[in-house]
Structure 1
Amino acid sequence: MFPEGSAAHPPNSGFLAVDSGGSGLRVAVGAYGGPPPVEGKSGRPVRTGERGIDPAHLLELLLPLARTLAAEAGVEELTMAVIGAAGFATLGDALRTELPDALTAALGVRTVALAADAVTAYIGALGPRPGAVLAAGTGLIAIGTDLTAWRRADGWGHLLGDCGGGAWIGRAGLEAALRAYDGRAGGSVPLLERARERFGPPPELPALVYPRPDRAAVLASFAPEVAACAPHDPVATGILRAAARHMAESVAAVCPKSGEPEVACTGGLLKLGEPLLPFLSEELAQQVPHARQTAPQGDPLHGSARLAAAIAAGDAVWPEDPRLLCVTAARKSAT
């Protein structure tokens, strides 16, 4: 159960909201019931090691930002912290064990909520309504809830899944380019030309991709080239149509089967625009015909802030889950 909240807060108190992803931290500090939060960011992503997401490194990046933003926002006391983190579901054990006490000791917060970034994406996009959210960027994950339990689909990374995400599209485009280079069926000469322009001679491509620690991002960087070729290349068009089908399949796996759920799509991959989005809308209409497609209200950082405000007010409705959303009240001795 969520800790009991109260509409009354100490003067000049507020909350800390965090979105931790592959490109770094986005942080917001706001006063309860006050003006919009003050935001800042760090371009350094939190390290992941043998213990999963590194709590010490997260604090190293977060604490200076949090204190600076609190001063800018005129918040003298932070009573709530909500951390939405990519990989939390599978790599968050150390965060669950160490981060609540560490944040209380460093900032004096009384309540800490830790969540998967898919959960904060959902809360930011749909708020307290049942439905499903597709988060599509370099990777891809879908999450849904009927407000009694969470369901997630995909998000298994670019080697095992993330079907339809940016890395998936880019890899499929490069495969089609190399098929054309070899003279095999299913190749695309336009994609081969784009691959040459971006990466150089095709025989050098494996050495450019395989050793890279950011391999998924390298593959995803070719997704816009696939979209650019789609209007005049049936192979590129087929890749985007298949990506849309995979996306809708993940949404269908998590969307509540009854009632009137809503579906929202978020993430940088949607910037591909016209070549992809009509296919996605068509696939969603076919695979979740009972759901209403809607524009997201906000992003994952907005979701973290919304969750903080709801917990503080005592009206949070989203289900807790040990791997997706857990909330801890500080021990009295730590306050």
Structure 2
Amino acid sequence: MTAGVLAIDAGQTGIKVRLGGHDIVFPGIRTDEPLLPQLAAVARGAVERTGVPASVIAAGVSGLTTREADAAALLARIDDAGVREVLLAHDSTTSFLGALADGRGAVVAAGGGVVTLAVGRDSVARVDGWGYLMGDAGSGYWIGREALDAVMREYDGRGPATRLTDVARERWPDLAQAYISLQSAEDRVSIIASFAEPVARLASEGDAVSQRITVRAGGELAHSVETALRRVRTEESERFSVCAIGGVFRSVRLREAFTSHLSASELDVALVEPLGHGIDGAVALAGLVPGHPLATAVSVARA
């Protein structure tokens, strides 16, 4: 079911849209402004730019809250007589559908933040995705925060030497003033998350502190997957597919740690490559059957 479907994969770094064979990228969601007007503007803009009419709009949105998950309100804002149906879901749902289609298992999506979604025979479990202040264990932000903690521990004499200190000094030559600079920066979250890349690189080059951070991150991500799968498992012999997506998994050592933790679990899991991406999951959202466990996580409105 893809004819007439306007699929939206909306994140903070960019909004991907697919309509009538055209793939378009719009600027990312502005979190300081109301969400639904932004999605409505993207939908109208996609129709205008492609010249293709849409009858169904299916959107997966990063950080979608319960209050914002109002498909009827979005349908009213779009104000297009040709649009007969709107489906709105958290991007963990569309990430799952893109990666594992209608299979059973778990998808962990780890970039600057992280969220894990597991789908069993009858139920769905979301683990983490609680943001950098309250969660996102094993994410790029989490790794970066651990890196900076290690740097300042070395600076104080509380921790071992690490080559991460050299990386931090490139940004803040005077480490004693680094915290002031970081706390006052509007983009401090992305600055912290940017340290995940040197952690991965230095871990591969033998820096012991970076290696420990990386192994712990892999363990945190595996723990989230195991927790989610236990919540949806109905039989001990049940076999699940697990898909790991997102930038942090480019670290070979992290992926090895993640895989090692899963292998040691009592769960019967198989690590698989994703079938597609979030935009493919948004397309699949329009064809989700009512009885599927994920259907309860989708807000639907029809004209």
- C-alpha contact (below 8 Å) 2:111/2:248 kept by paired residues: yes
Amino acid paired to 1:216: V
Correspondence list, 1:78-97, <5 A = 78-90=54-66, 92-93=68-69, 95-96=70-71
Change in 2 beyond 3 A, CA 1:232/1:170:
same
- Whole-Å Cα distance in 2 between the matches of residues 125 and 288 of structure 1? 24
Q: Deviations over 1:68-90 (max 9, x none)?
A: 13x2xxx3x31111111011145
Partner of 1:325: 298
- Whole-Å Cα distance in 2 between the matches of residues 130 and 300 of structure 1? 17
Change in 2 beyond 3 A, CA 1:147/1:190:
same
Partner of 1:99: 74
Q: How does the TM-score come out when normalised to structure 2?
A: 0.90
- Whole-Å Cα distance in 2 between the matches of residues 200 and 110 of structure 1? 58
Match of 1:112, SS state, is strand
Change in 2 beyond 3 A, CA 1:47/1:123:
same
Aligned with 1:221 (options 194, 215, 227): 194
Aligned with 2:107 (options 111, 115, 133): 133
Shift of 1:124: 0.2
Aligned with 2:161 (options 188, 193, 197): 188
Q: Is 1:110 aligned with 2:84?
A: yes
Partner of 2:239: 260
Aligned with 1:299 (options 277, 280, 284): 277
- C-alpha contact (below 8 Å) 2:72/2:86 kept by paired residues: no
Amino acid paired to 2:274: P
- C-alpha contact (below 8 Å) 2:72/2:300 kept by paired residues: no
Unaligned runs of 5+ in 1: 1-6, 31-36, 331-335
Shift of 1:234: 1.2
- Whole-Å Cα distance in 2 between the matches of residues 122 and 84 of structure 1? 11
Amino acid paired to 1:300: G
Match of 1:287, SS state, is coil
Q: How does the TM-score come out when normalised to structure 1?
A: 0.82
Q: Is 1:60 aligned with 2:46?
A: no
Partner of 1:38: 22
Correspondence list, 1:233-272, <5 A = 233-255=207-229, 256-257=232-233, 258=235, 259-271=238-250
Match of 1:232, SS state, is coil
Shift of 1:235: 1.1
Query: How many matched pairs?
Result: 297
- Whole-Å Cα distance in 1 between the matches of residues 175 and 291 of structure 2? 53
Match of 2:197, SS state, is helix
Of all paired residues, the percent bearing the same amino acid is: 29
